[in-house]
Structure 1
């Protein structure tokens, strides 16, 4: 995906993804993505701890009866089109090690890691609280590190080493070693920002 706002043209990106999805068997796509296919013909996809419904005929996604934001809709379609059912490994890799990730490292740092540090670098307790609100759980690294299940088979590990009076905070965001089986690499440069937005919103409720 191009950066949010310029994104080639969100409508074009949506149409391309919707056309690809319409050619798939929706029941098979649901199985491979780890989501639910309902008899009336829609797919139910948990995304950032909310249940979206996707209509295979139109490609449109809905949340609570309203159309989902187009940007979220595109991510959901990319997920359903890309998912191949490969089991996750539980091994964590950096963005750099995703296919072609080296090319997007600067945008990834700017859009994902730096905003993570700005939001929670000195507030590890709030970070943990916010991640838990999205169904997150402890990661085996970081102080703290939290795994957020953004999509059924797309966990993100947000790893924080908080700052103090002497040291600046540091952070990273890691991906399952089979992440490429579920989304294109460029989408992973944007996904953490959506998760961070949901985390921050949870603290306002």
Structure 2
């Protein structure tokens, strides 16, 4: 197991309270994968000899197999990113993305085959986002668009975020009024479980929610 210093503002703990750790085995498994097949399944580009270019929201990340870290493009070089959860879910996606294409239907967490997982400590992290934007629809729209969200004709405000090439996340916000409280929902492409395990889905939603709350923070 490998543990890294954690950047301010990033989700760094599991539901049990333990620090997020990235198993060294994930990097070892990535080294063994056929690059062409991996790129075809995950819809990423090879960046030899270092690794792969992985789109994440508006960013392009370098998954560096040589240094075993994630990097983002700096002013003149690739700079390491200190985010264990992002590193973990990125590796899980690359290693597990299946051949299935995106579907034409979105589903809620309750419709996932693993819906039972997302209860109690594994509840999706949407409450803080709701508390921040439930009465600030314009703020939600500005932040979502700044992060590359694609506007959807749903709810009072809805956006599709391309977390990974085969894993869009849709955030739907209904404003509150005197009679009803605001509501926030996250929808998934129906194929998501072909690419990510339940704990990785949980981690990815945590990441995107955290970025919505702190758009000024860099990865």
TM over 0.5: same fold? yes
In the TM superposition, what whole-angstrom CA distance separates every residue of 1:61-93 from its partner, at most 9, and x where no partner exists?
212333222221111100101111311013111
d(CA) in 2 for partners of 1:142, 1:107: 27
Are residue 54 (structure 1) and residue 74 (structure 2) matched? no
- After TM superposition, the score normalised by the length of structure 2 is 0.81
Are residue 67 (structure 1) and residue 76 (structure 2) matched? no
2:177 maps to which residue? 164
2:120 maps to which residue? 106
Unaligned runs of 5+ in 2: 1-10
1:127 counterpart (112, 117, 140):
140
d(CA) in 1 for partners of 2:142, 2:216: 8
Whether the 8 Å CA contact 1:21–1:56 is kept in 2: the answer is yes
Shift in Å at residue 97 of structure 1? 2.5
1:88 maps to which residue? 102
Unaligned runs of 5+ in 1: none
Structure 1 9/120 Cα, relative in aligned 2: closer, same or farther at 3 Å? closer
Moved more, 56-65 or 147-156: 56-65
1:179 maps to which residue? 192
Shift in Å at residue 167 of structure 1? 2.2
Whether the 8 Å CA contact 1:107–1:189 is kept in 2: the answer is no
1:5 maps to which residue? 13
Shift in Å at residue 114 of structure 1? 1.0
1:97 maps to which residue? 111
Shift in Å at residue 41 of structure 1? 4.2
In the TM superposition, what whole-angstrom CA distance separates every residue of 1:12-31 from its partner, at most 9, and x where no partner exists?
x4313223222211232122
Structure 1 20/9 Cα, relative in aligned 2: closer, same or farther at 3 Å? farther
d(CA) in 2 for partners of 1:149, 1:108: 22
Structure 1 201/95 Cα, relative in aligned 2: closer, same or farther at 3 Å? same
Are residue 190 (structure 1) and residue 172 (structure 2) matched? no
d(CA) in 2 for partners of 1:91, 1:106: 27
Instruction: Provide the aligned length of Structure 1 versus Structure 2.
Output: 201
Whether the 8 Å CA contact 2:46–2:52 is kept in 1: the answer is yes
Moved more, 143-152 or 186-195: 186-195
- After TM superposition, the score normalised by the length of structure 1 is 0.86
d(CA) in 1 for partners of 2:212, 2:19: 27
1:44 counterpart (53, 77, 85):
53
Moved more, 54-63 or 66-75: 54-63
Shift in Å at residue 57 of structure 1? 4.7
- What secondary structure, in the 3-state scheme, does the structure 2 residue paired with 1:149 have? strand
Are residue 116 (structure 1) and residue 129 (structure 2) matched? yes
